[in-house]
Homo-oligomer: A and B are copies of this chain.
Amino acid sequence: MKKSYKYLSITLGALLLLLTTVSLLPAQDTVAVAQDSAVIAAQAAPVATETATFVEPTIDAGDTAWMIVAAAFVLMMTIPGLAFFYGGLVRQKNVLNIMMQSVILTAVITVQWVVFGYSIAFGSSSGALAPYIGGLDWAFLKGIGISDLSPYFISHSQPTADGGTIGTIPHILFVLFQGMFAVITPALIIGAFAERIKFGGFLLFSVLWATLVYDPVAHWVWSGDGWLFKMGALDFAGGTVVHVNAGIAALVMAIMIGKRKNYKGHAIPPHNIPFVVLGTALLWVGWMGFNAGSGLAADGLAANAFLTTHLATAISAATWALLDFLFNKKPTVVGIATGAVAGLVAITPAAGFVGVTGALLIGIIVAVLCFIMVGYVKGKLGYDDTLDAFGVHGVGGIWGAIATGLFATPAIQNYSGLFYGNAGQLVTQLIATGVTILYSGVLTFILFKIVDKLVGIRATPKEEAVGLDLTQHKEDAYTAID
C-alpha cells in the first residue's frame, strides 16, 4: 500500500500545482465581482424599498410545483438512476451490493440531513465558525414551519415586512431539494471501490464523509455565510460541492483500498448493459431536476439550465461515440452512456451561467478529457477506480468548475467569465476547486484510516471472489430456480 500513497500524493499534488499556477496569473477584480453576487442571499440585508401597498409574502404555487417535482427527479437520479447505471456495470455477483449501497444511502443520509445535516450545511453559526460550518439551530428542522418561505432564493424573491427579501417556495421544500443532493454525492463515490468493499466499512465511511466533508463544503459554497460563496465562487448546481468533491474522494478511496484481485488494468465487461442504459436515461431525465431546479424557480433561468444541460449532454454523448468510432472503429453503448454522464457532470456548475455556445464547448471538451482519462491515463497510473467515479465525476467536475469561469456570460445572469472579460472569475473558480480537492482529498484519506481501524474496509479475497451479493447480503440477484 506504500505505493498507493505515492500515487495519491502525485495526483493530488499535480492537480493542485496546476490550479495554483493558473491562479497566480490574472487575479485582480475577483472581489469586486463577488461583491455583486447576490445569487444565493440567505438572510439577506434590507434591499426592497417597501412600497405603499405592502403585500404579505406568499408561497408561489408555480415555483413550488416545479421544485416539488425537481426534488422528486433528483431522488430518481440516485434510485433507480445511479443504482442501475452502476449496477449494470459491475459483475453479476456484485450488482445487489452496489444497488444496496445506493438505497441505504438514500435512507440514512435523508435521516442525517433532517437530524442535523441541513442545519450544519445551510444554517448559521456565530463568530469565527460562521464561514465554515452552520450551527444546530435547525436540527430536526425545528423552528421551520410549513408555511415559512425559503431564506434561500436565486431569481425569484419577494420583500418581507421587515424590509428583507425572501424566497417564493416553502423552506421545507428547499430542505428536501438540498437533501437529495446530500444523498447522491456520497452515492457517486461508491463507483470507485465497487466490487471489493465491506458493507459496514462503506456505510460508516459514507456517513462520516457526508457529515465531515459534504456538509461543510456545501456550507462554504452555497450558504449565505460561506467563505467561498462570499469570495464569489460560482457553482450553479454542484460542480465543486458535488462532483469535484465526490470525484476526489473516489480517487483517494480507489487508491487506498487497492486494486481488485486479478485486476490488471484491463476492462471487465459489464454484466447488464441495458441496465446501464436505463440508469443513464434516468440520470439524464432526473438531472433536469438537479440543474433546472437549482434556480429554485420555474422561470427563464430554469429553462436555460434545462437547455444547456440537455445540449451539453447530447453533444458530449455524441462526441464520445465519435471518438469511439475514430479510435476503436465502433461506437459503443457504454461509451455513449459514459459520454452523456460526463456531459451532465461538466455542465452542472455552469448550467445557470452559460448559453448555447458555452454548453456546446463544455460538452465537447469534457468528452475528450474523460475519454483520454479513463481510456489511457488511468491505465498508465494503475489505480483501480472500478466504475470511473474519478475519471468521470472528478475530471468532469473540475473541467466544469473551470469552464464556468471561462464561459459565464452576462446574457444569462449577471456574471462573466474569462471569455467575457472577467479573468478574476476564473481565478475564483480555480481557488474553489483547489480548496475542495485539498479538503476532500485529505479528509477522505483520514476517514479511510479511521474507518479501516474501526471496522475494516477491504473485503477478504474470498468475499471478493465469491461476490459481495452473497457474502455481504446473503442474496443472489437472479434466481432461475422455479
Contact = CB atoms under 8 A, between A and B. Distances in A.
Interface of A: 59-66, 68-69, 71-73, 75-76, 79-80, 83-84, 87, 91-93, 95-96, 99-100, 103-104, 106-108, 110-111, 114, 140-142, 145-148, 156, 169-170, 172-173, 175-176, 179, 199, 269-275, 277-278, 280-282, 284-285, 288-289, 292, 297-304, 306-307, 310-311, 313-315, 317-318, 321, 328-334, 336-337, 340, 356-357, 360, 411-412, 467, 472-482
Number of identical protomers: 3
Given A76-B285, A140-B356, A332-B474, A299 B61 contact: yes
B475 A336 contact: no
A183 to B, nearest CB: 9
Contacts of A301: 146
A143 B284 CA distance: 27
Contacts of A76: 281-282, 285
Nearest to A169: B303
Contacts of A297: 61
Nearest to A74: B285
Contact of A273 (B96, B298, B303, B411): B96
A16 to B, nearest CB: 34
Given A64-B303, A107-B340, 20 more contacts: A59-B298, A62-B62, A71-B288, A75-B310, A76-B282, A79-B281, A80-B282, A95-B274, A96-B333, A103-B317, A106-B317, A114-B307, A114-B311, A170-B299, A173-B306, A175-B307, A269-B479, A272-B274, A334-B475, A467-B482
A114 B357 CA distance: 11
Contacts of A91: 479, 481-482
A314 B100 CA distance: 13
Contacts of A92: 479-480, 482
B474 A330 contact: yes
Nearest to A478: B272
A278 B84 contact: yes
B476 A269 contact: yes
A258 to B, nearest CB: 19
A297 B60 CA distance: 11
Contacts of A306: 68, 71-72, 172-173, 176
A72 B478 CA distance: 30
11 contacts: A61-B297, A62-B65, A75-B288, A80-B282, A91-B481, A107-B317, A147-B300, A199-B331, A273-B477, A278-B278, A328-B474
A140 B355 CA distance: 10
Contacts of A315: 107, 110-111
Contacts of A475: 269, 273, 332-334
A331 B356 CA distance: 47
A339 B59 CA distance: 34
